[in-house]
A and B are shown apart, each in its own frame.
Chain A
Amino acid sequence: MTVIFILTAFAGSLFAQTRLNGAGATFPYVIYSKWFDIYYKNTGVQINYQSIGSGGGIKQIIEGTVDFGATDGPMSDEHLADALKKQKSEVLHIPTVLGAVAVAYNLPTEGKNIRLTSTVLADIFLGKITKWNDTRIAEDNPGLSLPNRAIIVAHRSDGSGTTFIFTDHLAKVSAQWESKVGRGTSVNWPIGLGGKGNEGVAGLLKQTVGSIGYVELAYAVKNNLPYAAIQNKAGAFVAPTITSVTAAAAGAFRDMPEDLRVSITNPEGKDSYPISGFTWLLVYKNPKDHVKRDALTQFLKWALSEGQSHAADLLYAPLPKEVRERSMQKVNSIGK
């Protein structure tokens, strides 16, 4: 009896001293730091996270300098192969939450939010639609008085997962965008002003009348910027909300590949908001350190169950049930 007691106490203290180090995406930083804080209070497991950007997160997981990475855009096949070669372990993508990219704008119009089709959105960012009262915008917005003002496009100047999601969407809906600009964390923008970070773009938008740009939903809400309802694949105009983003993930579930690397820009479903994306934690399938492995697995299980309830308060969308189950299977496969 005493032996068991001592053993469990020993195991407990061993666990309590476990420290996990992670690095990567800035976009989920707010929810992650909240999770790590709560998890530390509950279990004593300390998780350090540095939000150095998705590119950095991928680099570090390949080099093996962290216990887990984090990214907004899935790793490429070359990166995965590289990691396998260097770390002798497969890297798994575990979706944690979803985020929406809102198309925010600054226009002195009263009343309801503007509606944009995806092709109109692409043409605005291509510089083909230059005035707010262009007939193609007006068509979808009867009853909204649009001013005869130049459209000023604002975009992120720093490399970002948000940019990837946004340009990925435009590339899917506009052939010209795909051929002329393409998708990426940084692209060669045809027009517009660049702001550093979400706060930079939000600042540009807030200050410049007639501007339009994309930011994470949380920044549009916090800055009281109006944002557009975007037409989805089913033809409905949908505004970004927690529910419409979760709906988008559910809509994309059918086409989800086995490794969970999936983009959900332009998904099925009439309630789906078309410009949103997963954010992933990157973990080794066969980590060398077993204590750390068990601690990380425990944390991931917690994050995918109880942790999800903290997402909505911070304007991240929780994973739909189907995706959560698939992610849980992945977590259970760690170390096996």
Chain B
Amino acid sequence: MSARRAIARVLARYGISPVSQDGTNISDRLFRAGTFFFALLILVLAGVMVYQMVDGSSLSIREFGWKFVTSSIWDPVREEYGALPFVYGTLVSSLLALLLAVPLSIGVAVFLSELAPRWIERILSFMVELLAAIPSIVYGLWGMFVLVPWIREEVEPILSDHLGFLPLFEGAPYGFGMLAAGLILTVMIVPIVASISRDALRSVPRSQREAAYALGATKWESTILVMKYARSGIFGAALLGLGRALGETMAVTMVIGNRPIISASLFDPGYTMASVLANEFTEATTEMYLNALIEIALLLFTITIIVNILARLLMWTMTQNTAQGGRI
């Protein structure tokens, strides 16, 4: 408090009253303006990025128009660029990862926050957070030398023996491909989804659990209740995981097989938007080539925003339903 008084004294010396006419403290107003400025910077930054990307891809936008998004031919020699396989690869690999990672992470989070003894919880939480700190190139190398051979020798033969009639599991087992990309992304996003979900579960008030027990609920029933209470937090965790999966570059590039095709089979190689940027940007010599690559960056930016908006809408309708008399 003494610091505040000191500021007031300094301001008073220059004839500035610490309290303005409408009754708010001037340092509060400065504080408000300052933080507002920084918040605004984020918007400006996003705006500048969009401007730069649109400007940098103007050539290819003019040349290809919507065909850029709908065509699946990517041929730098003939300067024909279509980004559909990259969009497909990005979405499929990320959704696959989300599908596998979310149940797993919720399991981890529930165990850590509801069931585990304190000392186990401490060790495991530390390990989970450690996993989140591993650089993606390390995941990539591990994926290439450990995960891919395992997929090729064990996972894909089993899948193709038992579920080979599905188009999802058709074709020769290379190891490298969409499945490997989905799995490595799963491993990469589990830590972040799990640790944020755990925090969400932990922040559920004790009274909720106690109320459930008081009504005779079992551990299982009270946990379900707690999960429902924390679902917007868990949803947010999944969203952050998806964000990471959409933008992940290095690890995916190393295991996905880097082939711009659209195939229903998870065994086939694929390609993602982030990967093609990392792969081809340095050697893109012609103007049109560079423009096409920047347009892919723009596309990735747009898709990330759309996915985020959709997810928020979904979350909003979910919470809306409960507000209108749904059960908690």
- CB proximity of B224 to chain A, nearest CB, Å: 45
Please measure, in the bound complex, the distance between the C-alpha atom of A76 and the C-alpha atom of B285, giving whole angstroms: 10
Please tell me if the beta carbons of B175 and A208 are within 8 angstroms of each other in the complex: yes
Contacts of B76 in A (CB 8 A): 159, 184-188
Which partner residue on chain B sits nearest A186 by CB separation? Answer: B76
Please tell me if the beta carbons of A200 and B254 are within 8 angstroms of each other in the complex: yes
Please tell me if the beta carbons of B75 and A52 are within 8 angstroms of each other in the complex: no
Please tell me if the beta carbons of B283 and A54 are within 8 angstroms of each other in the complex: yes
Please measure, in the bound complex, the distance between the C-alpha atom of A58 and the C-alpha atom of B283, giving whole angstroms: 9
Which partner residue on chain B sits nearest A51 by CB separation? Answer: B282
Contacts of A161 in B (CB 8 A): 283
- CB proximity of A265 to chain B, nearest CB, Å: 16
Report the interface size class on chain B. Answer: 20 to 34
Q: Is A127 an interface residue (CB 8 A)?
A: no
Which partner residue on chain A sits nearest B253 by CB separation? Answer: A196
Q: Is B56 an interface residue (CB 8 A)?
A: no
Which partner residue on chain A sits nearest B148 by CB separation? Answer: A207
The secondary structure that dominates the A interface is loop
Partner of A150, one of B78, B145, B172, B259: B172
Q: Is B191 an interface residue (CB 8 A)?
A: no
Please tell me if the beta carbons of A55 and B284 are within 8 angstroms of each other in the complex: yes
Please tell me if the beta carbons of B283 and A193 are within 8 angstroms of each other in the complex: no
Contacts of B283 in A (CB 8 A): 53-56, 158-161, 185-186
Known: A194-B257, A207-B148. A79 touches B282 (CB 8 A): no
Query: Which residues of chain B from 271 to 306 have a CB within 8 Å of any chain A CB?
Result: 271, 275, 278-285
Contacts of A195 in B (CB 8 A): 254, 258
A59-79: CB near B (< 8 Å → 1, else 0) gives 100000000000000001001
Q: Is B157 an interface residue (CB 8 A)?
A: no
Q: Is B240 an interface residue (CB 8 A)?
A: no
Please tell me if the beta carbons of A157 and B258 are within 8 angstroms of each other in the complex: yes
Please measure, in the bound complex, the distance between the C-alpha atom of A191 and the C-alpha atom of B148, giving whole angstroms: 20
Contacts of B281 in A (CB 8 A): 159
B45-73: CB near A (< 8 Å → 1, else 0) gives 00000000000000000000000000001
- CB proximity of B174 to chain A, nearest CB, Å: 6
Please tell me if the beta carbons of A182 and B258 are within 8 angstroms of each other in the complex: no
Q: Is B139 an interface residue (CB 8 A)?
A: no
- CB proximity of B280 to chain A, nearest CB, Å: 5
Please tell me if the beta carbons of B284 and A159 are within 8 angstroms of each other in the complex: yes
Which partner residue on chain A sits nearest B79 by CB separation? Answer: A184
Please tell me if the beta carbons of B285 and A58 are within 8 angstroms of each other in the complex: yes
9 tightest A-B CB contacts, nearest first:
A159-B283, A194-B258, A53-B282, A157-B258, A182-B77, A188-B75, A55-B283, A158-B279, A185-B283
28 contacts between A and B (CB under 8 A): A55-B282, A56-B282, A59-B285, A79-B285, A158-B279, A159-B76, A159-B279, A159-B284, A181-B77, A182-B77, A185-B283, A186-B76, A186-B280, A186-B284, A187-B75, A187-B76, A188-B73, A188-B74, A193-B257, A193-B259, A193-B269, A194-B257, A194-B258, A194-B259, A196-B279, A203-B144, A204-B176, A207-B149
**Given A185-B285, A203-B144, A208-B174: 15 more A-B contacts, CB < 8 Å:** A55-B285, A56-B283, A59-B285, A150-B172, A152-B174, A157-B275, A159-B284, A161-B283, A184-B77, A185-B283, A186-B280, A186-B284, A188-B77, A196-B258, A196-B279
